[in-house]
Structure 1
Amino acid sequence: MHASNFDLDRYLQRIGHHGNAGPDAATLHALMRQQLFTIPFENLDVQAGKIVSLDPEHIAGKLLGGGRGGYCYEVNGLFAMALQALGIPYRFVAARPMFYPARRPRTHMALVAEAEGRSWLCDLGFGSYGIRAPMDLQALDADIAQDSDTFRLSRDEQGEYLLTARVDGTWTPQYAFNLSPQEWIDFVPANYLNSTHPDAIFVQKRVIVLHQPAGRLILAGNTLKTVADGQTETRQLAEDEITQVLASHFGLVPPQAERS
């Protein structure tokens, strides 16, 4: 994943990473954590009536200098740019969200990176119950604690992986994927669906998530949730509060709405 305007030093400054950065597992873990804590998952472009751009230069400009975050293709695309700059091999994988009542297509993007002889699931764009650090694909059927969250990876006989999260005491499927490598262009149809289809959650309401060491901030519609150490506080916002909360809680500058 290459963008002519991506600069590794600028990326490291944007996410607040001040340590060493090399093609190793420690860097992979550190960068994923730091990006999660500094660049929000958000769908403000979709809410403004725009189709999210998958142009790599647009993504780099938007997330590194535009006061913005993005949804899965954008935040994982930016992470892929950093991995490529560091010489960490990776592949894009297409994942099927599993928490809907009806079966869905593989509309989610994640990454599998290679470091120190192991394959790591990396994902910076799955919202409320996304993983918070790379997960070793060899660590199957084990409870993996990440801060206050717990995840598990399993694999069936056909080679399909399933990520589950412990939600309110219950193991809840999040998404399924296999290791078939995807090209960047393969996600164009899914991106169009997520940007335009009336059944897509990103079209239906505002969804913003910023991970924090103790939990996460979530703005879903006009509901602001603060999750810290397993405890949740909820507050309803008036519409005229949204812009201020976007700036103060998420560091976001909202886009201008598309003219009809």
Structure 2
Amino acid sequence: MRRQRHQHHPDLDAYFARIGWSGERAPTWATLRSLHLAHVVGIPFENVEVVLGGVPSLEPADLEDKLVRQGRGGYCFEHNLLFAGVLEALGFGVTRLAARVRMGSDAIRPLTHILLAVEVPGEAHPYIADVGFGSGGLLEPLPLLPGVSSPQGAWRYRLVREDDRWLLQTVYGDDGWFTVYEFTLQRRELVDYEVANWYVATHPGSPFRHTLRVQRSGPHERAYVVGRLLTVVRSDGSTEERRLADDHEVLRLLVRDFGLLLPWDTAFPEPPERPERPEEN
């Protein structure tokens, strides 16, 4: 007998206030597109809970409390499960999927990323939505069609078929199209994400366990904190890097510029001598 979970009804008013959205509450392409962008811009990607030794809860009520009411962000499982619940409450059809992060590599990595296939009433094809990728992910949904280049602010994306897999690609510097992750259209269950979430939060080799990673995205600028290195990438191709001196400077930045509500006595583990680049979800 399958375990039954308590059904959660998302507080749409609180969620929309959190992301600063006031559009039409109807399951249309325009709603999906504007909600996706507002979420990405409004709620940062961050792994503070994990780097401090915790494992994020994926229960819908807990996700809403953390990302909406507490003024926090999260990583992929938190963002996309929260977003899926909101979309379903609005009348969209949502299939939860899983991806292997590639970031240009051909290595076979575990299924540690969540994304969504969203059905919009009246549309001939689904859309891929992903508001929780922490290294230059989508700003807007992509049509689930092969080879369609989608400009999104200063960036471009497309989906490519490779046998039974789909590849999400973006233009990366002067090297042309770059594979971000691969996925299939197999539906996943919450228990699948609970296992992946535990692995990502606790495995000694996880890039999220030992190094602070925070990102805030917009159409023309992306800002990353990795360890104590702040990197800002702008639409004109310029990049700015600044070393943060200590936890106090990190906290001031996260509160002032990233909009995260964190206790002032938060102390992060010492970052590696050479901070990693943001290379995972």
TM-score range, shorter chain: over 0.9
Counterpart AA for 1:127: G
Q: Could you say what secondary structure the match of 1:145 adopts?
A: strand
Normalization by structure 1: what TM-score? 0.93
Give the aligned CA root-mean-square deviation in angstroms. Answer: 1.9
Change (3 A) 1:252 1:2: farther
Is structure 2 residue 136 aligned with structure 1 residue 132? Answer: no
How far does the alpha carbon of each residue in 1:25-83 deviate from its partner, in whole angstroms, 9 at most, with x for none? 11000000000011001100001110111121111100111010000010111111110
Distance 2:14 2:219 in 1: 23
Give every structure 1 segment of 4 or more consecutive aligned residues whose post-TM-superposition deviation is greater than 6 Å.
Answer: none
Is the 8 Å Cα contact of residues 42 and 71 (structure 1) preserved in structure 2? yes
Is the 8 Å Cα contact of residues 2 and 84 (structure 1) preserved in structure 2? no
**1:244 is matched with which residue?**
252
**1:106 is matched with which residue?**
111
Distance 1:75 1:251 in 2: 16
**Bigger shift: residues 247-256 or 145-154:** 247-256
1:257 Cα deviation from its structure 2 partner: 7.1
Which of 11, 20, 27 matches 1:23? 27
Which of 16, 25, 32 matches 1:12? 16
Is the 8 Å Cα contact of residues 93 and 119 (structure 2) preserved in structure 1? yes
* Superposed counterparts of 1:84-233, under 5 Å: 84-99=88-103, 100=105, 102-115=107-120, 116-117=122-123, 118-138=125-145, 140-158=146-164, 160-170=165-175, 171-229=177-235, 230-233=237-240
Is structure 2 residue 39 aligned with structure 1 residue 35? Answer: yes
1:186 Cα deviation from its structure 2 partner: 1.2
1:185 Cα deviation from its structure 2 partner: 1.5
Task: State the identity %.
Answer: 37
Q: Which runs of 5+ in 1 are unaligned?
A: none
Normalization by structure 2: what TM-score? 0.86
Distance 1:238 1:2 in 2: 45
Is structure 2 residue 64 aligned with structure 1 residue 60? Answer: yes
Q: Is the helix fraction higher in 1 or 2?
A: 1
Distance 2:41 2:108 in 1: 31
How far does the alpha carbon of each residue in 1:157-196 deviate from its partner, in whole angstroms, 9 at most, with x for none? 32x1001111112222111011111111211111011101
Is the 8 Å Cα contact of residues 8 and 82 (structure 1) preserved in structure 2? yes
